Amino acid sequence: MDEAALVSAAVRGDLDAFNRLVLAYQGLAYNVACRILSDQHAAEDVTQTAFFSAYRNLKKFRGGSFRSWVMRIVTNACYDELRRRQRHPEMPLEPLDSESDEEFDNPTWMKDQNPGPEDVYDQHQLHQAVQHCLDDLADDFRAVVVLVDIEGMDYQEVSQIIDKPLGTIKSRLSRARFKLKDCLKSSWEQLPLGLRLEAEESV
Amino acid sequence: MMPHLSTRDEQLLSDYLDGQLSARDVAAFEKRLRVDKALQTAVSDLRRLKVMLQRVPRYRVPRNFMLTPAMVNAKARRSKGFWLPLMRLSTAAAVFLLAAVFVLEGLPGGIPALRANPIPAAAPAMHNLAAENVDQANPPPIIPRNDPAQGHGGGGEVPAVIEVQPNEKQMETQVEPQAEPQALMAPAAPLATPAPALDIFASTPAAGLAVPPALSATESAAPAILPFTVESLVEDAVPAAGQEEDSNAAILGIRPTDERHMLATPDEMAKAVPPVPPVPSEVVQQNAPEEGKIWLWIKAALVLAALFTGTAAVLLQRKAKM
């Protein structure tokens, strides 16, 4: 069954059809939420909330890209969570240690279930560096660079998700990229050599 | 240190790397790129960044986010609730009523039911008009005609002696119209001891009024005995048509009634009855502040109700979202 048929069935109240759509897009939704919120537990709640909201508002889907429609709900839910954090800042009970052994023993951020030790280390370093620089960006800039450069979406689709004009998307993306560039350049030397070489060759 | 690019150059560079420039813009940009070292460095840095971002590891989904029927029903029940719709409805009702109050208040007459009862005009004081014009010092005694102790009333003979103490002043003063007719029939003052005089009363229906020889109060303190009958009293009280010129003649010190059986003329009544004072304007205007206070209380109550229920609805909605 193609996506259009699943969407039609889901609009008519078919929960199973909707759940098949959830399976198709839950990975993308969860990753975007993790990158924007920089918190996996919060991203889990936001993703579940977003899919439930999508199911309740299926009748408002007017056609087009279902992926863009769902990602818009996810992004808005992330913004709501960020605003809630600003109103009610939370202090963690235990200090987060990015260099803790637990991160290496249980790399939940690794999609690949069978990474080598060096790969795990390299990926961990890259993940830490990128997420650190993403956290320094404003919410609007962070969402655009995550959707375009990390998730590989095109400008038009991101414009529909963020609900901003194309020119705004381009402007925010260019400013976010140069901020990230300046931030990562400071920690470029700490990145693994293999990673740096690979990046240089691609240029 | 590399010179910092302008915002426009950053935009051009970003669009160039994403293939968003037109062919003409690409040619112009590449022409600049060949000679601008800073631009070249920026282009290579940005390309490296894009590669790194594409290689950022993706998160593994911790669990399945599919919805179950129980989740859908429970969430739907929780979101509907009871208090949230009630607070919303109450807020809407309070706002609507408040708007209605403002509209009705602007009407010319307002709401008639809210108008306070007008204060009745001050009633003229009921004066004891009879007392004002009666000589309190020498009130004429009035002996009822039907008093069995005094004789028989109605027509016929009057065997009893009717004694009257003439009062020269009463012969000239006015008798108030409000003087109750019954007063004329009230028990009279104790009879004075009759002077040793002739019983000149005769049961003759034709007996008319006769002036007793000792009527003058200045000559005698003894009560005078008027030789007249009850019939004559009645005749004199209601003068015949031809006797209007004597209608004002005093009998027993009391002026006879006029044609309307009033005890005084209209002019005398007008003089006796004080004019009704006009209702002061403060009394008329007293209604307006009372009505305004009612409006104010109603509006205040509706505003408070709208604020309370609206705040409750917002808090409940936030709680439902959490």
Question: How close does chain A come to B59, measured CA to CA in Å?
Answer: 4
Is the Cβ pair B72, A22 closer than 8 Å?
no
Beta carbons within 8 Å of B65's beta carbon, 6+ residues apart: A22, A26, A29, A30, A47, A48, A51
Q: Check if A2 contacts B (Cβ < 8 Å).
A: no
pLDDT tens-place string over residues A86-139? 887 766 555 444 444 444 444 445 555 566 776 777 778 888 889 999 999 999
Residues of A in contact with B76 (CB under 8 A): 56
CA atoms within 13 A on the CB side of B108: 0
Q: Which residue of B has its CA nearest to A200?
A: B48
Residue A198, both tokens: 């690979």
Q: Please state, rounded to an integer, the average pLDDT across all residues of chain A.
A: 84
pTM: predicted TM-score of the whole model, two decimal places: 0.54
Query: pLDDT, tens digit, for every residue of B115-130?
Result: 555 555 444 445 444 4
- Out of B10, B65, B72, the one facing A47 most closely (by C-beta) is B65
A108 touches chain B (CB under 8 A): yes
Indicate yes or no: CB of B65 within 8 angstroms of CB of A123. no
Q: Would you say residue B182 has pLDDT above 70?
A: no
Q: How far apart are CA B56 and CA A149, in angstroms?
A: 10
What lies within 8 Å, CB to CB, of A65 at 6+ separation is A157, A160
Q: Is B163 helix (H, G, I), strand (E, B) or coil?
A: strand
Closest residue on chain A to B53 (Cα): A150
pLDDT at B185 over 50: no
- All residues at 6 or more sequence positions from B144 whose CB lies less than 8 Å from its CB, including other chains: B150, B153, B184, B185, B186, B187, B188
**C-beta atoms of A145 and B7 within 8 A:** no
Cα separation of A128 and A138, whole Å?
18
Question: What's the pLDDT band for B184 if we cut at 50, 70, 90?
Answer: very low
CA distances to A24, B30, B40 from B27, in Å: 41, 5, 15
Give CA–CA dist B59/B96, Å, rounded. Answer: 52
* Full 3-state SS string of B214-268: CCCCCCCCCCEECCCCHHHHHHHHCCCHHHHHHCCCCECCECCCCCCCCCCCHHH
Q: Helix (H, G, I), strand (E, B), or coil: what is residue A152?
A: coil
Tokens 């027509």 label which residue? Answer: B155
Hey, are the CB atoms on B59 and A40 less than 8 Å from each other?
A: yes
**pLDDT surpassing 80 at residue A46:** yes
Nearest CA to A37 among A84, A102, A107?
A84
Q: In this structure, what DSSP letter does residue A187 have?
A: T
The yes-or-no verdict on residue B154 having pLDDT over 60 is: no
The confidence band for A184, taking pLDDT boundaries of 50, 70 and 90, is confident
User: Which residue spans within B117-160 are E strands per DSSP?
Assistant: none
CA nearest to A173 within chain B: B14
Chains A, B: CB pairs < 8 Å:
123
Tell me whether strands B224-225 and B163-164 are parallel, antiparallel or unpaired. antiparallel
* Residue B189, pLDDT above cutoff 50: no
Q: Which residues of A touch B20 (CB under 8 A)?
A: 155, 170
Distance to chain B for A114, nearest Cα, Å: 13
By the 10 Å C-beta count (0-12 exposed, 13-18 middle, 19+ buried), B9 is classed as middle
